[in-house]
Structure 1
Amino acid sequence: MQASIYHQVHVILCDDKDDFIQRLHDISADQGIKPYKHIRRTHLPYVTDISIPTGINHAETYKHMLSKIYKFTDPVVNAVIEAKPRLNRIMSAYAEIGDQTQRELLFECNMVHRYTKAGQASRSMNINLSKRLHLTMYGTNPLAFVGPDNAADMHH
């Protein structure tokens, strides 16, 4: 007795060899572009856009890069730059901390200063922004979702 078990298999019926070749080509093309479509639909739509210009110097490029992180407004970006003025300083600080939970909290208490008509308002960066920065800068999963918490399931 012989048994075959198939799991998550798609059966494609073809009329002839040419039809088979065309369908195989279409499936291969869809699978090849799938990761890029996934990224485009998530929190990093600019990742697949290679025409984004860099800044005129390293500091401007660093600031522009930080501003692309979801919910990183100019005051938040400035708070990160004030604490760690260069990317290598963020990476070194993360590398020195052995525990991932502690790395995620590295920027939690950094003060974000916002100027309003009434004067200066300050608040701490908060745990969500600190975790988001850690995940973006030091995370190892290139498809990790760092956008709005409730939107993570919309794109999968």
Structure 2
Amino acid sequence: MSASREFVVRIGERELVARVTASDPPVVVVDGVAHEVTPVAGGRSHVRVQGEAAQRIVSLDGAASPTAAAIGGVAFALDVRTAQAAARDAALAATGSASAGGGLVKAPMPGRVVRVLVSAGQTVERGTPLVIVEAMKMENELLATVAGVIKAVHVGEGVAVDAGQALVELDPS
């Protein structure tokens, strides 16, 4: 079985899931449709839906993670992220808006508390690191969104946390 990687590709308002299989030729499955990809000179690739004779030429901008593509001469802006990065960004956006104006810092996703960097009664400035949570093999440093005094620390090091769980309570100044 070939190894595969999953990506989330945003084109305008549309978001697609692409699974790339390291086979020969490489296969990209987008929304359940398999495409064979043959790289050619100039940063372009021939893309053919498996089982069909017609090919499309896709030109990427040459970056390791492309930011633009052209298909048949029509250019499209791309946002390509790994599935893990897309999930992390969505979780941070969901909890970041809830905590941006207040004093409750929540876990952006399920994980494990690696370090607690503050204690109750401590005065902190906006941007001060409070807690480090490990999720999806990445350490996420959660920062104070406002200046204030630590009212309570609800977790300890090594504790498993759920998405949205309160970690630190901050009394804004």
Q: Is the structural similarity TM-score above 0.5?
A: no
With the length of structure 2 as denominator, give the TM-score of the two structures: 0.26
**Structure with the larger helix share:** 1
With the length of structure 1 as denominator, give the TM-score of the two structures: 0.28
Between the two structures, name the one with larger relative contact order (CA 8 Å, sep ≥ 6).
Answer: 1
**Structure with the larger strand share:** 2
